[in-house]
Amino acid sequence: MRYRNLGTSGLEVSVLGLGTNAFGGRADKDVSIRVLHHAVANGITFIDTANIYTGTKSEEIIGEAFEGRRQEVILATKAGMKRGEGPNSKGSSRRHLLQELEGSLRRLRTDYIDLYQIHTFDPNTPLDETLRTLDDLVSSGKVRYVGASNYSAWQMMKSLSISERQRLVKYVSVQPGYSLADRGIERELIPFCLDQGIGIIPYFPLAGGILTGKYSGGSVPSGSQLDKNPNFASRMDAARLNLGEQVTKIAADIGTSATALSLAWLMHRPAVSTVIAGATRESQIDENIRAVNLDLTEDIMRALDEASEEFRYSPPFGSAPRQK
């Protein structure tokens, strides 16, 4: 395994992280714990979750898996998405964040979070309030570093400006959707992150499996995203399926898999600190790890860039399907 600093912070993270939004859902507790232990045994230290994943089950499973082994992992979780029906059950207000942090600490069976992330920008709460709250959480020792998820470049820049002006803790990372099939952040967010020293943590790095080649020829493998969630079909347009086939061909030409190649491409992109890839079985961890030491030549990077160029200008992968 290789390790990098998260942005310009002193926190080192494995270049391959583990996404856990399937734990307690597509992967039951026993399977999830085996996957977590297998990941750590192979050098993966960065474990990413959120308070809403599988109705809090993801955090609960992670807490059980690493009880007594807390020091072996970097735990990252998030808050801000809707957690109930009340008026204060979502967002990044002081009230909501303080309440949700305590719940995450309890479920994760720990007294601190390594990276606490605001799950999405909250237009209804002043950024000063959110950042002051995060600063207090860091001062209390319950949080070590703070980051954002799904923020745009201007939202990140405004946040950093407030933190600097008021001498508050600063975001060290941002977590956007990013893959060969979703390159929109290259237009503004990546230049911003390079300028300000912010680490990027891509999610959806395999575009829900499209970049693994598993859907080639119209097949729907058992247990896949499309098999478990028919609504996922809205994201599988012809252009992305064609990209998956091109990536599979390039991978075959250099003797690797489409999965490893897609993850390695991200690891070669500027400002990327760690790539969070999900796994619902131990063999997927082994496959994903192949990307870590895959050295891509300039010719391969150019071929992948050219094949995916149109996705620098497409709506995000997680948004509604593109209109023809």
**Mean pLDDT, residues 107-127:** 98
Over residues 120-156, the pLDDT tens digits come to: 999 999 999 999 999 999 999 999 999 999 999 999 9
Whether 36 maps to a domain, the answer reads yes
Closest-CA residue to 4 (of 170, 204, 200): 200
pLDDT tier at 314, thresholds 50, 70, 90: confident
- What does the CA dihedral 62, 45, 202, 173 come to, rounded to 10 degrees? 100
Whether 49 maps to a domain, the answer reads yes
Continuous H helices in the chain: 29-41, 57-65, 94-108, 127-140, 153-166, 189-196, 225-228, 238-253, 258-267, 282-289, 298-307
Whether 89 maps to a domain, the answer reads yes
Model pLDDT, residue 323? 33
Half-sphere exposure of 140 (CA within 13 A, CB side): 14
**Is pLDDT of 218 > 70?**
no
Model pLDDT, residue 227? 53
* Residue 232 contacts residue 242 (beta carbons within 8 Å): no
Whether 277 maps to a domain, the answer reads yes
Whether 48 maps to a domain, the answer reads yes
Query: Which CATH number fits the domain that encloses residue 38?
Result: 3.20.20.100
Q: Which domain holds residue 36?
A: 3-207+268-297
Over residues 73-92, the pLDDT tens digits come to: 999 999 999 998 888 999 99
**Spatial distance between the Cα atoms of 259 and 264, rounded to a whole number of angstroms:** 9
Please state the domain count of the chain.
1
**Spatial distance between the Cα atoms of 137 and 159, rounded to a whole number of angstroms:** 17
Closest-CA residue to 264 (of 290, 282, 285): 290
Q: What is the mean pLDDT of the chain?
A: 93
Catalytic hit among 3, 53, 116, 151: 53
**Spatial distance between the Cα atoms of 7 and 11, rounded to a whole number of angstroms:** 8
CA 59, distance to chain mean position in Å, is 15
DSSP state of 144: E
Comparing 95-104, 183-192, 226-235, 275-284, which segment has the lowest mean pLDDT? 226-235
Kind and range of the H or E run holding 114:
strand 113-118
Over residues 177-214, the pLDDT tens digits come to: 999 999 999 999 999 999 999 999 999 999 999 999 87
**Spatial distance between the Cα atoms of 120 and 240, rounded to a whole number of angstroms:** 26
Over residues 10-25, the pLDDT tens digits come to: 999 999 999 999 999 9
Q: What angle is formed at CA 56 by the lines to CA 54 and CA 62, rounded to 5 degrees?
A: 95
Whether 155 maps to a domain, the answer reads yes
Q: Is 178 helix (H, G, I), strand (E, B) or coil?
A: coil
Model pLDDT, residue 299? 97
Residue bearing the bigger pLDDT, 123 or 221: 123
**Is pLDDT of 321 > 50?**
no
Closest-CA residue to 141 (of 169, 165, 121, 107): 169
Q: Is 122 helix (H, G, I), strand (E, B) or coil?
A: coil
**Is pLDDT of 259 > 90?**
yes
**Is pLDDT of 219 > 70?**
no
Whether 72 maps to a domain, the answer reads yes
Residue 53 designated active-site: yes
Model pLDDT, residue 228? 58
Whether 112 maps to a domain, the answer reads yes
Q: Is 205 helix (H, G, I), strand (E, B) or coil?
A: coil
Residue bearing the bigger pLDDT, 173 or 320: 173
Model pLDDT, residue 222? 61
**Mean pLDDT, residues 96-117:** 98
